């Protein structure tokens, strides 16, 4: 299908079924999702897991990496396996907020204005290279990400369920990029960093392309749909039932508070970030067969949940200190509940 000027792709799937699955069946299905994604994307297992965790927790994902590491392909493949409607927006310096949310268009025949939906009206909106557009357009997503609605001309319009923004982002030091506002960064549940592949993985990527792999034709690659939106909702409900003891909640709070007290940090993790940490830990616990989160689940999710929420002091950046190194040091210092 050809892309429109807004970069929209992928037609909606047919209406989903209502077949309910047991929790073991749902977990097994998510394991199969990982296998199906692997038919298209080589490596990047941590990113695949992170995207599934965000979907299960009802959050949004920021994918950072240099061009060409399969960020866009990863999101498209995952949505294909879950029968979710997906639209892609290529963020550019001249993109306007209405190009994302939609706008009022005058219908000469009816003699009135009608609302024309933007690409945000979908299940997974792929915001490609989100840091290549100015802050005014980036901020158009704030209401959608937090409230699951957009307001145009004073009227609020509810977005589809589920709804997730999966935004790709080039490293900030690359030419032609803009810094994302802190308020928007805080609304992403996870920031996943996609590194360049090792030699073995890169050889496999090139081998597949040499054999005729077409990243625009997932069906030809053998990628199959595994779940649908209604079954995803069942899994989300199961994640919400995962338990969290007072000690584990206190541990998550202590980690967040420690970021605010670090001498290298100007802005630490907000309470929204602590909530995201708990939700992501629940999703990871459920995926791995636990009915309650442990400190190990909190630690596993601490870096992807917190790294983009830290604003470092200039002197720390000059010394080469990274958010990940600060978080690792904090996890060594904060007492873990027994």
Per residue in 226-268, pLDDT (tens digit) is 999 999 999 999 999 999 999 999 999 999 999 999 999 999 9
Confirm whether 309 is domain-assigned.
yes
Indicate the pLDDT class of residue 123, thresholds 50, 70 and 90. very high
Do 132 and 224 belong to one domain?
A: yes
Are 193 and 320 part of one and the same domain? no
| Number of structural domains found in the chain | 2
**Domain stop point among 235, 260, 290:** 235
Domain coverage including residue 96: 23-235
Quick: pLDDT tens for 272-313. 999 999 999 999 999 999 999 999 999 999 999 999 999 999
Is pLDDT at 108 greater than 80 in this prediction? no
Tokens standing for 65?
Answer: 């990496």
Q: Which of 58, 52, 76 is nearest to 192 (CA)?
A: 52
| Shared-domain flag, residues 147 and 262 | no
- Helix, strand, coil abundance in the chain, percent, nearest 5: 45, 15, 40
* Structural domain includes residue 123: yes
Query: Are 231 and 248 members of one domain?
Result: no
pLDDT of the residue at 18? 56
In the numeric block, which tokens belong to residue 30? 């998510």
Contact by Cβ (8 Å): 161, 84 = no
In this structure, is the dihedral angle defined by the CA atoms of residues 41, 43, 45 and 50, taken in order, positive or negative?
A: negative
Tell me, yes or no, whether 253 and 191 share the same domain: no
CATH code assigned at 224? 3.40.50.300
- The last residue of one of the domains, among 184, 213, 235, is 235
Name the E strands within 184-287: 190-193, 265-267
Q: Are residues 136 and 39 in the same domain?
A: yes
179 and 41 in a single domain? The answer is yes
% pLDDT > 90, the chain: 54
Which of 80, 77, 75, 196 lies closest to 129, judged by CA? 75
Considering only CA atoms, which of 213, 173, 151 is closest in space to residue 317? Answer: 173
Pairwise CA distance, residues 110 & 198, whole Å: 59
Q: How far apart are CA 179 and CA 140, in angstroms?
A: 15
Q: What is the pLDDT of residues 195-236, one digit of tens each?
A: 888 899 899 989 988 988 888 888 888 888 999 999 999 999
């Amino acid at each position: 299908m050809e892309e429109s000027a807004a970069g929209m792709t992928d037609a909606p799937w047919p209406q989903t079924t209502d077949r309910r699955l047991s929790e073991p069946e749902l977990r097994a299905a998510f394991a199969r999702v990982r296998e199906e994604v692997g038919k298209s994307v080589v490596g990047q297992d941590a990113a695949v897991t992170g995207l599934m965790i965000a979907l299960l927790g009802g959050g949004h994902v920021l994918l950072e990496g240099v061009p060409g590491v399969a960020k866009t392909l990863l999101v498209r493949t995952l949505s294909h396996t879950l029968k979710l409607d997906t639209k892609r927006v290529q963020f550019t310096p001249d993109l306007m907020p209405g190009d994302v949310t939609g706008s009022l268009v005058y219908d000469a025949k009816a003699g009135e204005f009608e609302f024309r939906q933007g690409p945000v009206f979908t299940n997974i909106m792929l915001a490609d290279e989100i840091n290549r557009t100015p802050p005014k357009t980036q901020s158009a997503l704030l209401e959608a990400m937090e409230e699951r609605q957009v307001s145009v001309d004073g009227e609020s319009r509810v977005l589809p369920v589920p709804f997730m923004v999966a935004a790709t982002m080039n490293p900030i030091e690359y030419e032609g990029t803009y810094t994302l506002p802190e308020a928007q960064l805080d609304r992403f549940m996870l920031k996943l960093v996609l590194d360049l592949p090792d030699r073995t993985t890169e050889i496999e990527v090139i081998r597949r392309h040499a054999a005729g792999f077409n990243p625009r034709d997932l069906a030809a690659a053998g990628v199959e749909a595994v779940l649908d939106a209604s079954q995803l909702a069942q899994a989300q409900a199961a994640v919400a039932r995962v338990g969290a003891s007072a000690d584990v909640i206190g541990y998550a709070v202590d980690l967040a508070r420690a970021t605010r007290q670090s001498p290298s940090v100007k802005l630490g993790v907000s309470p929204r970030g602590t909530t995201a940490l708990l939700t992501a830990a629940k999703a990871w616990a459920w995926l791995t067969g636990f009915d309650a989160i442990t400190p190990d689940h909190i630690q596993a999710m601490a870096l992807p949940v917190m790294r983009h929420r830290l604003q470092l002091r200039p002197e720390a950046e000059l010394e080469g200190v990274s958010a990940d190194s600060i978080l690792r040091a904090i996890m060594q210092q904060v007492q873990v509940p027994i």
